[in-house]
């Protein structure tokens, strides 16, 4: 985008809420007013004045005068202010300090703030002290801040315009700022372009005047093809988070600078196809069905995070064929499911649900009939994975005898006993709890034949997946009394949102606990998942690591250091690795590290190379036949 050579181009950068995340005078107020009981009121007034000034509603001089008066600040407050502001430099400025130092001769920081704190903040990042233009404080003899140097143009209206005019820069001028006074430079014809900087604040009156919106310095650098710390600005990468994932996840993506859209419920196939078109990272829970049709319409999609354990709602094979890495949270909610299962077992065996419902009708039925202890009862676990094993341990602690059946030969924990067949387990258990995964082969794993094999009066729990139980067969078993009580958290058809009605023939049975798929829905589990899954997705996006992916070849990669990383995902056909390396050899590229892992259908090759290579290498790698996806990271 630059029209002149870099040496004849000047970058004018605003300080408050651009170079730093905050308005310095707001922070000064928090320090200087710390002991005042009416502090919050005054701070709110200061903030409101700042915003009115930045939006162009009051003059700079007026804004400064009003705020300095309210601040009641002293020279001694400045060291604490500088310390706080040093920790509040905008993330994209922090990570692009190489740009700031390499082009120090062309960069000016121009602000209506004050040199006393701006210079110590910006110069360690490479800005030259004599390229900082700002106001200076006026102090009284006791060191109180009583005003500013009123002869400085920056204390006046259109001060930035006047200053740029006085600087008389011989070249193109690009202005980056979040305030109206930054736009005024362009309005006065003294800048070629004005970039509204929105990493920290969005001011509609400023944004509407901008030539371009820069959600980060990376975007500005990318737009102008300037050297930068990120190969592709995160602000251009869209994240779509569905099904009410925990806010901690939203924060993690926003802190990294991604563009994040959130929706409360799940979307149906057509809605998802519409929403996913320009999405690179998708986050879902158990309800959103990511089908082949959806994936065929998701050309930018790089990765999916299942903010849960189960991934049966995602067409993993198609994801793999399209080079989309899928991650989940395999452990974060297991304890929550186990606790719910234990709670339900006790409620069911004591016949508490009908008793409680009767009490609500005014019926007092104090009796021990049909009420038992769990101690000494036989608990049968179908599926002895992360949840099954944890439930096994907790149930034994309550004095239960645990039996389990798993298709894989699993180590029995504690005194749990392994059953050789499903039928053996069905015949032996007083209480049966399902903890298999949701693979298609498990559809109707428990049907009429299996219920018939169970003991009369058995208790039955399904907190795994709805389709693993044949619901009409369960209804018949409940009706006949074969099953004396059940706890069901998952169903073949679950409402997509809380507004939809739950329709099921299981409604209305007295000793059946129905819960809306909340086995993993505790604050603790959701927060754990909200931290865990973004961690995996970010490792993949930032570094290429696929460790923990449920459908991709797993690679844990070293951090990128002083090199560029080329990630090549291809169909697993013979000869691709050779062709990749032929291209490197042809261009005389020094390979610093190379990693390869394959599954039966795809290969994932990561090559770290020195930074000085020609663009052609990238183009040739992308053109290799059978390439599915290619990414460049630095």
Ligand X SMILES: O=C(O)CCC(=O)C(=O)O
- 514 makes contact with ligand NAI (CB under 6 A): no
CB 390, min distance to ligand X, A: 14
Stretch that binds ligand X, among 151-159, 306-314, 549-557, 622-630 (CB under 6 A): 306-314
Partner from ligand NAI, ligand X, none contacting 621, C-beta within 5 to 8 A by type: none
Among ligand NAI, ligand X, none, what does residue 405 contact (CB within 5–8 Å per kind)? ligand NAI
Q: For tokens 């998708």, what's the residue? A: 282
* Between 135 and 528, CB nearer to ligand NAI: 528
The residue range among 307-315, 406-414, 549-557, 613-621 that interacts with ligand X, by the rule CB under 6 A, is 307-315
> From the list 192, 280, 286, 390, which residue makes contact with ligand X (rule: CB under 6 A)?
286
Identify which of 236, 157, 526, 171 has the alpha carbon closest to the alpha carbon of residue 534: 526
One residue of 159, 179, 438, 485 binding ligand NAI per CB under 6 A: 438
Is 620 catalytic? The answer is: no
Residue 388 touches which member of ligand NAI, ligand X, none, C-beta under 5-8 Å by kind: ligand NAI
Task: Report yes or no: 337 and 519 within 8 Å, Cβ to Cβ.
Answer: yes
Find, among 102, 16, 9, 8, the residue nearest to 53 by Cα. 16
Do 444 and 467 form a contact (C-beta atoms < 8 A)?
A: yes
Regarding 388 and contact with ligand NAI (CB under 6 A), the answer is yes
Query: What's the closest the beta carbon of residue 464 comes to ligand NAI, in angstroms?
Result: 4
Nearer to ligand NAI, 257 or 388 (CB): 388
Cα–Cα distance list, 468 to 255, 488, 491 (Å): 40, 12, 9
Residue with tokens 């038992």: 372
Active-site residue, selected from the candidate residues 465, 565, 568, 570:
465
**Residue 387 binding target from ligand NAI, ligand X, none, CB below 5 to 8 Å by type:** ligand NAI
**Which residue in the list 77, 335, 517, 570 is annotated as catalytic?**
517
Q: Taking contact as CB under 6 A, which single stretch among the options 127-135, 188-196, 221-229, 304-312 is the one that binds ligand X?
A: 304-312
Q: Distances in Å between the alpha carbon of 523 and those of 25, 49, 391, 438, 558?
A: 37, 39, 20, 24, 33
Enter the DSSP assignment of 469: B
494 is catalytic: yes
- How many Å is the Cα radius of gyration of the chain? 32
CA distance 309 to 583: 41
Q: Which does residue 436 touch among ligand NAI, ligand X, none (CB within 5 to 8 A, set by kind)?
A: ligand NAI
Q: Which residues contact 568 (CB under 8 A, 6 or more apart)?
A: 576, 580, 604, 605, 606, 607, 621, 624, 627, 630
The item of ligand NAI, ligand X, none sharing an interface with residue 17, based on CB under 5 to 8 Å by kind, is none
The distance of closest approach from Cβ of residue 590 to ligand NAI in the complex, given in angstroms and rounded to an integer, is 43
Residue 456, CB-side half-sphere exposure with 13 Å CA sphere:
2
Q: Is there a contact between 130 and 146 (Cβ–Cβ < 8 Å)?
A: no
Contacts with ligand NAI by CB under 6 A lie at 309-310, 333-334, 337, 382-388, 405-408, 435-438, 442, 445, 463-465, 489-490, 517, 519-520
What residues are annotated to the active site?
A: 465, 494, 517
């Amino acid at each position: 985008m630059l029209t002149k050579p870099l040496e004849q181009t000047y970058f004018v950068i605003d300080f408050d809420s651009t170079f730093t995340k905050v308005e310095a005078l707001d922070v000064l107020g928090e320090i200087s007013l710390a002991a005042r009981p009416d502090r919050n009121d005054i701070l709110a007034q200061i903030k409101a004045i700042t915003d009115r000034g930045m939006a162009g509603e009051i003059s700079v001089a007026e804004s400064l005068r009003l705020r300095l008066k309210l601040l009641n600040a002293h020279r001694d407050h400045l060291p604490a202010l500088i310390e706080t502001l040093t920790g509040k430099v905008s993330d994209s400025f922090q990570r692009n300090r190489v740009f700031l130092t390499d082009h120090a001769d062309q960069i000016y920081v121009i602000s209506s703030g004050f040199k006393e704190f701006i210079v110590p903040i910006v110069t360690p990042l490479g800005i030259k002290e004599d390229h900082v233009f700002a106001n200076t404080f006026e102090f009284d003899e006791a060191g109180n801040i009583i005003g500013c140097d009123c002869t400085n143009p920056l204390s006046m209206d259109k001060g930035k315009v006047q200053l740029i005019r006085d600087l008389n820069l011989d070249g193109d001028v690009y202005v980056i700022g979040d305030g109206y006074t930054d736009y005024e430079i362009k309005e006065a014809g003294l800048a070629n372009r004005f970039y509204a900087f929105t990493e920290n604040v969005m001011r509609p009156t400023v944004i509407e005047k901008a030539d371009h919106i820069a959600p980060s310095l990376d975007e500005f650098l990318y737009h102008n093809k300037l050297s930068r710390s990120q190969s592709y600005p995160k602000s251009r990468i869209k994240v779509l988070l569905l099904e009410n994932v925990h806010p901690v996840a939203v924060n993690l993506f926003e802190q990294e600078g991604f563009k994040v859209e959130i929706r409360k419920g799940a979307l149906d196939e057509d809605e998802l196809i519409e929403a996913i078109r320009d999405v690179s990272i998708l986050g879902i829970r158990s309800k959103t069905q990511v089908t082949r049709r959806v994936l065929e319409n998701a050309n930018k999609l790089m990765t999916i995070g299942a903010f849960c354990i189960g991934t049966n709602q995602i067409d993993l094979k198609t994801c793999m064929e399209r080079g989309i890495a899928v991650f989940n949270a395999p452990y974060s909610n297991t304890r929550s499911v186990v606790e719910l299962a234990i709670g339900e077992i006790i409620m069911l065996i004591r016949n508490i649900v009908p008793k409680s419902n009767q009490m609500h009708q005014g019926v007092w039925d104090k009796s021990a009939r049909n009420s038992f202890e769990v101690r000494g009862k036989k608990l049968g676990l179908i599926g002895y994975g992360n949840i099954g094993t944890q439930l096994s341990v907790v149930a034994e602690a309550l004095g239960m005898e645990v039996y389990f059946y798993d298709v894989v030969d699993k180590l029995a924990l504690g005194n749990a006993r392994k059953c050789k067949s499903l039928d053996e387990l069905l015949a032996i258990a007083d209480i049966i709890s399902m903890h298999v995964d949701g693979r298609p082969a498990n559809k109707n794993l428990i049907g009429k034949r299996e219920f018939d094999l169970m003991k009369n009066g058995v208790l039955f729990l399904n907190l795994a997946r709805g389709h693993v139980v044949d619901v009409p067969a369960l209804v018949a078993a409940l009706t006949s009394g074969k099953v004396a009580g059940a706890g069901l958290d998952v169903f073949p058809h679950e409402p997509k949102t809380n507004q939809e009605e739950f329709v099921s023939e299981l409604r209305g049975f007295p000793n059946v606990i129905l819960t809306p798929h909340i086995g993993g829905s505790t604050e603790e589990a959701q927060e754990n998942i909200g931290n865990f899954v973004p961690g995996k997705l970010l490792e993949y996006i930032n570094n290429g690591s696929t460790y923990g992916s449920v459908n991709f070849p797993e690679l844990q990669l070293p951090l990128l250091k002083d090199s560029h990383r080329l990630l090549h995902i291809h169909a697993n056909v013979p000869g691709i690795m050779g062709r990749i390396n032929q291209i490197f050899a042809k261009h005389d590229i020094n390979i610093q590290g190379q990693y390869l892992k394959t599954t039966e259908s795809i290969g994932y090759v990561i090559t770290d190379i020195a930074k000085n290579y020609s663009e052609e290498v990238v183009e040739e790698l992308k053109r290799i036949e059978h390439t599915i996806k290619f990414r460049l990271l630095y």
